[in-house]
Amino acid sequence: MAHAHNRRDFIKFLAAGAATTTLASCATTSQVQKPIGRVIVIGAGYGGAAAAKYIRMWSGGRIEVFLIDRETQFVSCPMSNLVLGGSKKIEDISVSYAGLREYGVQVLRDEVTAIDTAKKMVKLTRIQDLPYDRLVLSPGIDFMYDLIPGLNNAEAQKTVHHAWKAGPETVALRKQLEAMRDGGVFVLSVPKAPYRCPPGPYERACQVASYFKQAKPKSKILILDANPDIVSKKGLFLKAWGDHYKGMIDYHHTQEAKDVDLRGMAVKTDFDSFKGDVLNVIPQQKAAGIAASAGVINANNRWCNVDWLTMQSTANPDIHVLGDATLSAPAMPKSGAMANQHAKVCAAGVVALMTGQAVNQAPMMINTCYSFVSDKEAVHVASVHSYDAKDKTFKTVPGSGGLSTAASELEGIYGWAWAQNIWADTLG
């Protein structure tokens, strides 16, 4: 019984989205003070929104913060597969940015066209250029469509959706599933790791299968995985497929999408061609283009190397990079929870650098990832990561975190509670 209580307490701690990085000397104050500098944050996802909020909080409002994003509201990638399954609507996973304004964050809906790192200036589409003292990039990912020639044009991308950025793509793919005939085939092409997750591909297979089981029971799901095996929660997903969707999901490993035949509605790999009624091809990914224009993509021509104590770019110390765009530390996933943790290490570092305080030399991060295997049941994996001063990176703490023993509705309740809590933590 004691073990059960400890596990519940641990889950509740994770669900709270607590960051272990603290900056006690920079607590929020009610005093209005003259700004000591300006930080511009580009990208208002799990990383950027949290960084903007916590820089304001931990500086006591002394640092002016602009948060720039092209979207009108936050739409969560975690939980977006539930929209495909039909148990949630896109509105259920969308959150206003209004809460951030209450912390004094100046939220701008605009698009960055260029970054002048020499002049420390951000160029925008709608308003005049903005100067900065420090820049935080949380740009997310772009897709490497050049590796899949048949998708490397706008028209093809209107037919074959990735739905890997939650929003209109998610809704479009859901509509394709609704329009598909009973007895049709849904082809899900999984890229080589590393990739943004969640939304997770194996959870997506579960959610689509859950919908088919209710509405189109003759339909099949074909998973073409570029990886040699299921990358995450293998045993739990295989059990879910066997228990809930027996005979419905056909998994193929080492089948990387090399091209798409739109006329024939087929995904081509090195070994074969797989036809489907709905194609969901997820290309390989890299740090978004704005990171390239800022000159901070310096790892494998795809990702951004950072100083993990402050999230400063190793290419430019005036720029901090968060979330999926970074070259991940060992065993560190490209998850929403981890981007939120990046943001807090960054915020602490920014405040320390701009106020002349010492940077925390021993930060820690927590990752939590829930996957729904049906409309109500979920599983989770969790890990704790501590900074290794010798190797200058984060490493998992041995014996920390954990993996669900089985899917359950209780885990589903925890999973949705986790989402609500991290949205509140990130967005105010």
Whether the pLDDT of residue 74 is over 60: the answer is yes
- The label of the residue with tokens 């809460």 reads 99
364 φ, ψ (degrees, to nearest 5): -135, 155
Q: What is the pLDDT of residues 145-191, one digit of tens each?
A: 999 999 999 999 999 999 999 999 999 999 999 999 999 999 999 99
- Parallel, antiparallel or unpaired: strands 319-321 and 249-252: unpaired
Q: What is the pLDDT of residues 219-238, one digit of tens each?
A: 999 999 999 999 999 999 99
What is the model's pLDDT at position 401?
Answer: 86
The amino acid at residue 103 is Y
Whether the pLDDT of residue 329 is over 80: the answer is yes
Whether the pLDDT of residue 31 is over 70: the answer is no
Q: Which residue has the higher pLDDT, 264 or 21?
A: 264
The amino acid at residue 204 is R
What is the model's pLDDT at position 24?
Answer: 35
Phi-psi map region of 238: left, alpha, beta (phi>0 left; psi -120 to 50 alpha)? alpha
pLDDT band at 32 (very low <50, low <70, confident <90, very high): low
pLDDT band at 14 (very low <50, low <70, confident <90, very high): very low
Whether the pLDDT of residue 69 is over 90: the answer is yes
What is the model's pLDDT at position 7?
Answer: 41
Cα–Cα distance, 426 to 97 (Å, whole number): 10
Q: What is the pLDDT of residues 257-273, one digit of tens each?
A: 999 999 999 999 998 99
pLDDT band at 94 (very low <50, low <70, confident <90, very high): very high
The token pair that represents 237 in the structure block: 């997903």
List all residues 6 or more positions away from 422 whose beta carbon is below 8 Å from its beta carbon. 17, 46, 78, 336, 337, 340
Q: What is the pLDDT of residues 239-253, one digit of tens each?
A: 999 999 999 999 999
pLDDT band at 8 (very low <50, low <70, confident <90, very high): very low
* CA-to-CA dists, residue 396 to 50, 111, 357, 362, angstroms: 23, 36, 27, 13
pTM over 0.95: no
Average pLDDT over residues 134-144: 98
The token pair that represents 348 in the structure block: 């602490």
Nearest to 387 by CA among 414, 362, 409, 407: 362
Whether the pLDDT of residue 341 is over 60: the answer is yes
135 φ, ψ (degrees, to nearest 5): -120, 135
Q: Provide the mean pLDDT of the chain.
A: 93
Exposure string of 402-419, with b = 16+ CB inside 10 Å and e = fewer, is eebeebeeebbebbbebb
Q: Yes or no: say if 76 and 167 are a contact pair by the CB < 8 Å rule.
A: no
176, β-bridge pairs: none
Q: Yes or no: say if 214 and 239 are a contact pair by the CB < 8 Å rule.
A: no
Largest CA distance in the chain: 66
Whether the pLDDT of residue 102 is over 80: the answer is yes
Whether the pLDDT of residue 4 is over 60: the answer is no
**Where do the domains of the chain lie, and which CATH numbers do they carry?**
2-142+286-427 (3.50.50.60), 145-283 (3.50.50.60)
* CA-to-CA dists, residue 3 to 6, 7, 9, 10, 368, angstroms: 5, 6, 10, 10, 20
Nearest to 380 by CA among 397, 400, 403, 396: 403
List all residues 6 or more positions away from 169 whose beta carbon is below 8 Å from its beta carbon. 161, 162, 163
What is the model's pLDDT at position 413?
Answer: 98
